[in-house]
Amino acid sequence: MPIPTAKEPEELITGVILAGGLGTRMGGVDKGLQLYDGKALVWHVAKRLAPQVDHLLINANRSTAEYAAFGYPVLADEITGFAGPLAGLHAALAAAKTPLVLTAPCDSPELPLDLVNRLYGALRNTQANLAIAKAGGRLHPVFCLCRCSLLAPLEAYLEGGGRKVAAWCADMAAIEVDFSDQSEAFGNFNTLDDLAKS
């Protein structure tokens, strides 16, 4: 599949690092600020993601000053109650000045360096509204490229109590983009023990 290298203005992308969760499986600590190889997880994600997008935001619902110190605008969920990754996507779709939004979690510090190009190529070639990553037989729907035109259906889904990312992506007929050649790039840290062993 050919990967476009030049984008028209209507194809510009806002990247969003999702760091708005409660970190429940990490004992309630702010996951994105935990250290990996001497730097905060969110720093690693930003370093790999920023060169791939036209604008970068961090979605966070606490530790706002700490996240802002990384040099990117910090965006809180509009939907209260820590409603999960889709709430972060919702806030980004509402705030973005570009027609496309790319999300990535704050706890995958080795994310693919060609993540955006491959998702964007698939989206453009198929005229889909939503593209998500798949690797090693598993979907990774939090790594998604979404047209801002999906804001209204996402808002309706959330207002109806929906929270499952994969279910919403299926409802939106998301195209799955295969990254099986670099499955390890989607590795993430769910517990402090995971980080301690890295």
Query: Residues 46-85: pLDDT tens digits?
Result: 999 999 999 999 999 999 999 999 999 999 999 877 778 9
Q: Which CATH number fits the domain 10-196, given the four candidates 3.40.50.1860, 3.30.70.990, 3.90.550.10, 3.10.20.30?
A: 3.90.550.10
140 versus 5: the higher-pLDDT residue is 140
Residue pair 165/141 in contact (Cβ under 8 Å)? The answer is yes
If pLDDT is split at 50, 70 and 90, which confidence band does 29 have?
confident
Q: What is the mean pLDDT of the chain?
A: 89
Using alpha carbons, select from 166, 164, 167, 122 the residue that is nearest to residue 147: 122
Angle between helices 151-159 and 85-95 (to 10 degrees): 140
Residue-wise pLDDT for 133-163, tens only, equals 999 889 999 999 999 999 999 999 999 999 9
Res 1: pLDDT: 38
Res 2: pLDDT: 41
Q: What is the mean pLDDT of residues 76-103?
A: 92
Res 22: pLDDT: 56
Domain boundaries, the chain: 10-196
SS3 125: helix
If pLDDT is split at 50, 70 and 90, which confidence band does 5 have?
very low
Spatial distance between the Cα atoms of 146 and 159, rounded to a whole number of angstroms: 19
